[in-house]
Amino acid sequence: MASTEDGTMPPSSSDGADCRLRAEIERLRAEAADRMRLAQRRADLWVRVDILLGLPAAFLAGASGAAGLATPDARVPAALLALLAAGLAGCAGSLRSDTRRRANKRARHAWAAVEAGARVRLSQHRVVPADLAELLDRRQAALTAYDAEHPPPGGNPSSGFAPTPPG
């Protein structure tokens, strides 16, 4: 067997391929962790937007109704409050913050599945190209989770992730 100048054995081609696979899986794990945090922050943002637009709209609608019924002189201010409430409600509806929040939660779960799968693969003694292929499929599913109105068929994207048997 040939050795290098420092006396160590050169890595076999399978060791080099394993290192490259592990590096790519580590890159996917880091990307998934970053995107999972980003999806969580976005979901939290859309909750706040929903509250910041919906709560004042409901309060103003109630106040305008009470003011309109109180005295005939309060009808003009009541109408202005009602218009403001309708504007806030229309803005909240056009932003679809609840839909966006749900999409970001779905994406967060999908990215968590990618990260968990990468961690499992990295903890194994040996990784194979099929491991990377499966993680790339999960990455694609996570990318499409933002656009889906309903979860993808086949159930939860984080279920059914079984480690590859050592070989």
Query: Alpha-carbon distance 18 to 31, whole Å?
Result: 20
Rounded distance between C-alpha atoms, residue 52 and residue 58, angstroms = 11
The pLDDT score that the predictor gives to residue 135 is 94
Q: Nearest-5° angle of CA 124, CA 34, CA 114?
A: 40
The residue type at 85: A
Claim: this prediction has a pTM higher than 0.75: no
Residue 149: its pLDDT value, please? 62
Q: Can you tell me whether residue 14 is helix, strand or coil?
A: helix
Q: Are 32 and 114 in contact (CB under 8 A)?
A: yes
| Residue 167 to residue 59: CA distance in whole angstroms | 64
Angstrom CA distances, 117 to 32, 67, 72, stand at 10, 58, 66
> Which is nearest to 97 in space by CA: 44, 38, 61?
44
Stronger pLDDT, 111 or 70, i.e. the higher one: 111
pLDDT, tens digit, 9 for 90 and up, residues 31-59: 999 999 999 999 999 999 988 888 888 88
The answer to whether 53 and 100 have CB atoms below 8 angstroms apart is: no
